[in-house]
Amino acid sequence: MAEDIGLFEAMYSQRAIRHIKPDPIPDALIEKIIDAGIHAPNGGNQQGWGFVVIKDKEVMRKMAPLYNGVGRPNHGEAGNWSERNSANSAEYLSEHVEEVPVWILAVTKSTGDNIHNGASVYPAVQNMLLAARALGLASVLTTRVRRGYEAEMREWVGLPDEFVTAAMIPLGWPIDGYSYGPTTRKPGSTVTHWEKWGNHKG
């Protein structure tokens, strides 16, 4: 475990790792990751989130074909190596999702306004992803549950009516050969606009 890394090192080397060993992970690490999540900023400090830890193999067995059946319509057509690699990685997870030892379902109280719901729960999820990175655990944010089988998942975990699903985080040790490291991103200057859209420095 590498939990002594610096914040910027964690952010700059964080990536989606979807190749996950079936080996179990200690509950103490799961609790540490969720604890990082609940320390995220949130609107009005209402803390309207919840986290369901799923290790039940029966639930995973029922979920797996539904997760795999959602596909990846929000990724679009892969146009370069990086996008193809990401798409292939997503495909691998969809085919092996039942083998992942832990799923964390992140939920939030529904206000009828999805973007405001996300404004609180997604910072918590990002904290959790960074904590997983620091601990050397593989993780990724996936929203397939929202796009394909939320009703079934709600029933399986007994989710109250006032909550909606926001994301699921698969969690486990990375398969050998898959690790965190430098990421491929567009330069910040290409997506930063000063005062008006289209004004870039340099």
Per-residue pLDDT tens, the chain, 202 aa: give them: 566 788 898 898 888 999 999 999 999 999 999 999 999 999 888 888 999 999 999 999 999 999 888 865 555 565 666 677 778 888 889 899 999 999 999 999 887 666 676 788 999 999 999 999 999 999 999 998 988 889 999 999 999 999 999 999 999 999 999 988 888 888 999 999 999 999 998 6
Lookup: tokens for 30:
């799961």
pLDDT at 5: 83
In angstroms, the CA 175 to CA 167 distance is: 23
Amino acid at 158: G
CA torsion angle 145 151 156 159 (round to 10):
90
**3-state SS assignment for residue 39:** coil
CA separation, residue 168 to residues 21, 61, 146 (Å): 17, 16, 9
Q: Residue by residue, what is the 3-state secondary structure of 83-100?
A: HHHHHHHHHHHHHHHHHC
Residue labelled with tokens 């290790």: 55
Superfamily of domain 7-191: NADH Oxidase (3.40.109.10)
pLDDT at 97: 93
Lookup: tokens for 165:
């699903």
Number of neighbours of residue 5 by Cβ within 10 angstroms: 15
Distance of CA 84 to the CA centre of its chain: 19
pLDDT at 71: 65
Contact of 42 with 49, CB cutoff 8 Å: yes
Provide the β-strand partners of residue 164: 108
pLDDT at 115: 64
**3-state SS assignment for residue 156:** helix
